[in-house]
A = this chain, B = another copy of it.
Amino acid sequence: MHEDPGAGAGPVAHAAQPIRRATSTVLHTHRDFPGLADVAARIHALADHLETRVCSTDDRMMQMDTVGRIVRYSPVSGSRNAIAAPLHLCRVGVGIGVEGTVRFSAAHQGPPGVVHAGVAAMILDVALADANMVAGVPGMTAGLTLRYHRPIPLRRDLIVRARHASGDGRKAVSRGEIWLGSDLCVSAEGLFIVPREGVPRDWCRPE
Contact = CB atoms under 8 A, between A and B. Distances in A.
Interface of A: 1-2, 10-12, 14-19, 21-23, 25-33, 35-37, 39-44, 46-51, 53-57, 60-62, 64-65, 70, 73-76, 80-83, 105-113, 116-119, 121-126, 129, 140-148, 151, 154-155, 199, 203
B27 A47 contact: no
A159 to B, nearest CB: 18
A108 B43 CA distance: 21
Copies of this chain, count: 2
B46 A28 contact: no
Given A22-B22, A75-B109, A144 B117 contact: yes
Contact of A18 (B44, B64, B141, B146): B44
16 contacts: A10-B31, A11-B37, A16-B23, A22-B43, A22-B50, A26-B80, A28-B60, A29-B54, A42-B46, A64-B109, A82-B82, A82-B83, A117-B140, A117-B141, A121-B146, A144-B148
B31 A23 contact: no
A2 B146 CA distance: 37
A78 to B, nearest CB: 9
Contact of A112 (B2, B70, B74, B124): B70
Given A60-B106, A144-B121, A151-B140, A36 B22 contact: no
